Chain A
Amino acid sequence: EAQVTQNPRYLITVTGKKLTVTCSQNMNHEYMSWYRQDPGLGLRQIYYSMNVEVTDKGDVPEGYKVSRKEKRNFPLILESPSPNQTSLYFCASSLGRFNQPQHFGDGTRLSIL
């Protein structure tokens, strides 16, 4: 089954404790992206990647890092999380050309105390 898998689905942690949210897709998609979703603000793009070793900042990249060492994986790293990063996070992937529709993972709800 074609899917985008995020882990963990839920996480409660404390300020400053580094964390990684993994994202994996099995559709051989070139394009992958991370979003955060906050009430009233919709989905905001954090980082995206057009292919292996190619990443670009989205609209809200501050406080986040990503890497794309393999085509299927696109982890999101919070080196020193802060409470304002409490949010619902989505990973998405698509075929790389011509802005194809994205397939989304089920989301990761992060709470940073």
Chain B
Amino acid sequence: EDKVVQSPLSLVVHEGDTVTLNCSYEVTNFRSLLWYKQEKKAPTFLFMLTSSGIEKKSGRLSSILDKKELFSILNITATQTGDSAVYLCAASNYGQNFVFGPGTRLSVLP
């Protein structure tokens, strides 16, 4: 059975800290790994990763995929209170089926 595991499930940090969120996956016919940020409502897209070792960056956020070890990390540097959210990791296969992890709830305190 396909599955995605995220750790930690919950994290509390102070503004300015750097955090690393982890995502491991077991998906048959893996195609891509996606990260989303979910605040109060709909998840919003952050990154899509298909190749190993190539870092994707957007401002203070970055992510990388390791297809040999079947995991990805999402880094957030110099965290701000606006980064408080649930971060979701999803793995897709060639059949367009998406499997999501349970999410990591990040709380950034002022």
User: Could you tell me which A residues sit within 8 Å of B by CB distance?
Assistant: 4, 31, 33, 35, 40-45, 48, 50, 56, 58-59, 90, 96, 98-107
Contact = CB atoms under 8 A, between A and B. Distances in A.
A35 B36 CA distance: 14
Contacts of A96: 96
Given A99-B32, A101-B48, A43 B97 contact: no
Nearest to A41: B102
Contact of A105 (B42, B96, B99, B100): B42
Contact of B99 (A59, A101, A102): A59
Given A31-B96, A48-B96, A48-B97, A43 B31 contact: no
B72 to A, nearest CB: 15
A99 B31 contact: yes
Q: Which bracket fits the contact residues of B?
A: 20 to 34
Contacts of B48: 99-101
Interface in B60-110: 88, 90, 92, 95-103
A45 B99 contact: yes
Interface of B: 2, 4, 31-32, 34, 41-45, 48, 88, 90, 92, 95-103
Contact of B42 (A31, A98, A99, A106): A106
A50 B98 CA distance: 13
Given A42-B100, A101-B48, A107-B41, 19 more contacts: A31-B96, A33-B98, A42-B102, A43-B43, A43-B90, A45-B98, A48-B97, A50-B96, A56-B95, A56-B96, A56-B97, A59-B99, A99-B31, A99-B32, A99-B34, A99-B92, A99-B98, A102-B98, A104-B42
30 contacts: A4-B42, A31-B96, A33-B98, A35-B100, A42-B4, A42-B100, A43-B43, A43-B90, A43-B100, A44-B100, A45-B99, A45-B100, A48-B96, A50-B96, A56-B97, A59-B97, A59-B99, A90-B42, A98-B31, A99-B31, A99-B48, A99-B96, A99-B98, A101-B34, A101-B45, A101-B48, A102-B98, A105-B42, A107-B41, A107-B42
